[in-house]
Structure 1
Amino acid sequence: MVFLSGAPAPEEQALESNEGPLVRLHPRKLSQPFAKLSKASIRKDLVHQCQEKWRNATLDHFSYGDPTEKGEIATFPQRYFVCTNQWQRQAADGSTGPIFFYLGNEADVLLYLNNTGLMWESAPEFGAMLVFAEHRYYGESVPYGKNVRKHMRYLGAEQALADYAELIWEIKEEYDAHDSAVIGFGGSYGGMLASWMRLKYPHALDGAIAGSAPIWNFFGEVPPFDPGSFAKGVTYDASELAGSAPACADNVRDTWDLLRIYGGDDAGRKFLATGLGLCPSVPLSSEDDVAYLREWLGAAFDMMAMGNFPYPSAYITNGHGELPAFPVRVACTFVASDNLSDSELLAAMGKAVGVFYNHTGEAACLDPWAGTDPDSDHDGDWWDFQWCAEMLMPFSKDGVTDMFWSDPFNLEAAVAACQERWGVTPRPLWANTEWGGRRISAGSNIVFSNGLLDPWHA
């Protein structure tokens, strides 16, 4: 997820495209990722070392008056987990162990509890309490229940940080831990939150470990942010320098030419569908369908790059089945040959993206329009709202410095799509204004980490 990144800590994030009325394939979360789900979610037993707790969180931290007078709610149930097995309540010198606080991002908090190994591995050495807080609107921390979609305006980073600031105070009160230092942890959007909280609430957070946190990926940066950096990072993962087959990136790039050549008529589209191993029911009947297919194929490499860990991981699949270690390298083994015929290249590409879309090995064919698991569908939807409302990151491809196709970011189209879907008009410069962009020299005790295979590190 943006999440995702190199080796230090599983992270996540998202990718944008504007094919069709609103086909936005986030680098963080696909709208329809998997051809077939595994039969059981991957859940480790770490949660059994923690206590699930709930609090009544303030719905709107930044307004005054009684919201119930307008028919609004004042609070919502926020879930968090406290793990005290390693916490050293009082050392010989009278000090108390620190609190390692994970700032939940755009998924069920159990995903981060089960995948943030750095916190678990470091807790015994530091005698730390672990806290994993769930981000409002995600997981089970949902205001308004089934009617939540009508009340999206309270979903945002500023509100989430205020939730965490209040929660930290409450935990210190409950556990008499006022002398405990609090170190924030987060990956991808969670890493952004960790760094921003240290800047905005330095009295609540004594330090932050921000993994794969692209806090400079916004409009208004000086020097400007390179919107093609993510695509270049994915391409690097598919290169020989990153351990992938030498011909991989070129073969991936050549695939887009085949979609253009064969996508213009029914016979050509049938050739594409057969070659890629698509299911007979796939509606590949127009050039728009082929355009969506191209996005779907490319997004597989985006997702695998974000989960390009040196060990098998269920992180980027949202806990539903595992990807192999170094999934981009594995995918590239299928497109490793030179001088492939058109049919051979399509078949190879189908197998390559199957490393992600058919990671269970249970699907007999691939369906870009197949439904997703409820977790990823929900998270991708809500992240799309946040992208529109406050996280407008421009992404582009050029097909020259990356292995994709020419697709410059279109701000006008993005604004129109956000207005149509959410009734939200993006403010391109707001993120830089709110969080400071590169001008964060007043901050301290923030560690920004990333792996070199992490496409967000550029």
Structure 2
Amino acid sequence: MADMCTRLALLLTCVVGYTAALPWFLHGRPRGGMLGSPGRAGNGPLPPDQWVTQRLDHYNDADLRTWQQRYFVNDTFFKPGGPVFLMIGGEGTADPIWMVTGAWIEYAKEFHALCVMLEHRYYGKSHPTEDTSVESLQYLSSEQALADLAYFRDYMVEKRGLTDNKWISFGGSYPGSLSAWFRLKYPHLVAGAVATSGPLLAELDFVEYVEVVRDSLATTGPECNKNIQEATDAVKQMLGTQEGVENLSKLFNLCSPLDVSVANDVANFWSTISGNFMGVVQYNKDNREFEGAVGTNITLDVLCNIMNDVSMPLVDRYAAVNSLMMKTYQQKCLDISYSAMVKELRETSWESAASEGGRQWIYQTCTEFGFYQTSDSPNQPFGDGFPLSFSLQQCSDIYGPQFNQSTLMEGIKRTNTNYGALKIAGTKIVFPNGSIDPWHALGITKDPKGTDLHAVYIKGTAHCANMYPARFGDPPELAQARETIKGHIQNWLSQ
């Protein structure tokens, strides 16, 4: 995700067990999903799993197949006549901890709302098909997900007698996009939408992502990007000699010696070591701490302090950043084997490591969105080692030759035509975005003129920061953003 807080949490360990060949940060998605779980005060019980019967294909009346989709309910704050707040699940397991904490829960207390959350099809426990084969994944799309939301909304209205209650949708990252699109496509079902950090423009070559990473790193001072650039140049020079390659394999603790004759392994190496910076910037200083989380103390300041440490050679600093991330995620070695990564992402069993969400999310990028964070911009410090062709190669290698640039461009065109991209024509939608978050480049950061759409651009914050519970030390801009969002909700409910 341009997006997504997109659950898809940076610092979650993989729910199916750590697998070395799958990077912790892939296509803008950390293991677990782009929206991390918030911290939680207290140890009370969380809402139990509940299930709704959904159609497999909402757009084929002749297909009568159904499946069970998971959802959660918290009616603690609800009073008769109060609104219904709908949290939209995304590209990871829906975590019920969101049902008891977060900014939306504070809003629910004030407005006496019923809180519900629907898990996205194909993620978490919501398995529409027997596996994640290409044939099965044809039913994974944002359009099907929106239809799930529409059916679920009417199901809850009937089940709980909510005929006259107003609904407000919430989402962060890819679900932020879904929240906006839900209001756009089903305005009779939802009275307003909070679309946090949602990438609205589907884009094949998302070069702006790395450029925003550059700008975010620059907030620590000019030396960080300069040193990354020089370290990148030094690594590139080392790749030109056998001795240099051997030294790099040791410095970065690779699981097997790097073979520079395998172009995709080299690209995977570049993508992985730059991803160390991208992932940290994307979630810089947010409030995702929760039981079992790791690495929330790693910020862009920490990484830049390492890169600015003149006591080490430049390449050693690059390697030290990598070692810090490996230690954080308990990696014994760094596996940059492209073939091993692709082999794991081809696994179609729900028990496989890929089914944690990586296989599903990459499928969506290969069919609807693109969002590829490439090195194609010359205006960034990470070199040119992971071009667009590297991401496109993954589409065809994982899912088959029919998944290529031509078919993806058609899918991207369809997405932007279907939802309007940055010219979305909806009403009563608020778009919070953080200036540090690279995904804001594909979102709305200024109020569109002559519309009932509202941007909340938050200086100094990262992906989905406004969704997490407030804490001491939050910047004033973030506190004000939460109040501004609450004001919009209040207006929607009063109309």
TM-score range, shorter chain: 0.7 to 0.9
What whole-Å deviation, never above 9, does each CA across 1:54-81 have from its counterpart, x for those lacking one? Answer: 01111000012245xxxxxx01110011
Distance in 2 between the 1:303 and 1:176 partners? 43
Question: How many residues matched?
Answer: 407
- Tell me what 1:378 maps to: 356
Deviation at 1:171, TM superposition (A): 1.0
For residue 238 of structure 1, give the secondary structure of its aligned residue in structure 2: helix
Which among 85, 103, 120 is matched to residue 88 of structure 2?
A: 103
- What is the CA deviation profile of residues 17-64 of structure 1, one whole-angstrom value per residue up to 9, with x for unaligned ones? xxxxx999744326899xxxxxxx999578834232001111000012
Q: Cα distance, 1:358 vs. partner?
A: 2.8
Give the counterpart letter for 2:381 in structure 1. M
Report the TM-score when normalising by structure 2.
Answer: 0.73
Deviation at 1:252, TM superposition (A): 1.6
Q: Are residues 1:79 and 2:64 paired?
A: no
Partner of 1:173: 158
Q: Is the contact made by 2:271 and 2:386 (CA closer than 8 Å) also made in structure 1?
A: no
How far apart are the structure 1 equivalents of 2:319 and 2:45? 39
Q: Which residue of 2 aligns with 1:155?
A: 140
Q: How does 1:36-435 map to 2 (within 5 A)?
A: 48-67=45-64, 74-88=65-79, 90=80, 96-110=81-95, 113=98, 117-146=102-131, 148-218=133-203, 227-239=206-218, 241=219, 244=220, 246-276=222-252, 278-279=253-254, 281-287=255-261, 288=263, 289-311=265-287, 313=289, 321-325=293-297, 327-338=299-310, 344-360=313-329, 362-363=330-331, 366-368=334-336, 378-393=356-371, 395-398=373-376, 400-406=378-384, 410=388, 417-422=394-399, 423-424=402-403, 425-426=407-408, 427=410, 428-435=412-419
Cα distance in 2, alignment partners of residues 85 and 446 from structure 1 = 26
Q: Which amino acid aligns with 2:212?
A: G
- Residue by residue over 1:300-340, the C-alpha shift from the partner in whole angstroms, topping out at 9 and shown as x without a partner, is 111112211344546xxxx86322246222122111135x6
Q: Secondary structure at the match of 2:85?
A: strand
Take 1:305 and 1:376, find their aligned partners in 2: how far apart are those partners? Answer: 25
> How many angstroms apart in 2 are the aligned matches of 1:105 and 1:294?
28
Q: What is the distance in 1 between the residues matched to 2:107 and 2:70?
A: 23
C-alpha change, 1:253 and 1:352, in structure 2 (3 Å) is: same
Tell me the secondary structure at the aligned position of residue 126 of structure 2: coil
Alignment root-mean-square deviation, CA: 3.5
Amino acid at match of 2:183: R
SS of structure 2 residue aligned to 1:358: helix
Letter in 1 for 2:431: F
Between the aligned partners of 2:108 and 2:372, the Cα distance in structure 1 is: 37
Deviation at 1:112, TM superposition (A): 7.5
**How far apart, in 1, do the equivalents of 2:360 and 2:170 lie?**
22
In structure 2, runs of 5+ residues without a counterpart are 11-21, 345-350, 442-495
Deviation of residue 142 (structure 1)?
0.8
C-alpha distance in structure 1 between counterparts of 2:299 and 2:271, whole Å: 19
Give the Å deviation of 1:199: 0.3
Contact 2:87 2:171 in 1 (8 A): yes
1:222 corresponds to which residue?
Answer: none
Q: Which segment is superposed worse, 124-133 or 372-381?
A: 372-381
The residue that corresponds to 2:427 in the other structure is 444
Aligned position for 1:93: none
The 8 Å contact of residues 100 and 130 in structure 1, kept in 2 or not, is answered as yes
C-alpha distance 2-429 of structure 1, shift in aligned 2 (>3 A): closer
Residue identity over aligned pairs, in percent, reads 28
Take 1:336 and 1:166, find their aligned partners in 2: how far apart are those partners? 53
The aligned counterpart of 2:450 is none
Larger deviation: 251-260 or 367-376? Answer: 367-376
